[in-house]
Amino acid sequence: MKYVMDIHEILKYLPHRHPFLLIDRVLEMEEGKSLVALKNVTVNEAYFVGHFPNRPVMPGVLILEALAQAAAVLAYKSTNTLPSEGVLYYFAGIDHARFRRVVEPGDQLHLEVKVIRSKRDVWKLGGTAYVDGELACSAELLSARRG
């Protein structure tokens, strides 16, 4: 199923807020299976002040966090739950993280997460982040539900 979610709907499905909300739009989603989202990387991001002052680079851990947030949106939508109901999906683990390209201001991260398996309240997903079709980051993510 194709699905589009704007920032207003994303805010319903993620407890994160500025400056830690790292998804701007969901382009497509198949509940229980996959999600594609966008993150517009702007020079106004707070972390660019110190990472690095003379050559701003998006920290790799924040690219991974953006993938984890995409995974959380997929989990919430797939289980018909909301953070406002006391349900939280936590980033519980990461394996095989690799960084292939620097992400800079002006780039648009194309985030893709796909369910590898889900059992009870634990989800394992494959995540990839692209800039202009070029792989920037890949990892396996673990998400666990509490509440």
Q: What is the DSSP letter of 39?
A: E
- Render 44-97 in DSSP notation, one character per residue: T-GGGGTS-TTS----HHHHHHHHHHHHHHHHHHHHT--GGGT-EEEEEEEEEE
Q: Residues with catalytic annotation?
A: 51
Cα–Cα–Cα angle for 130, 133, 135, rounded to 5 degrees = 45
How many Å from the N-terminal Cα to the C-terminal Cα in the chain? 28
Rounded Cα distance between 21 and 18, Å, is 5
- Please tell me whether residue 119 adopts helix, strand or coil conformation: strand
C-alpha Rg value of the chain to the nearest Å: 15
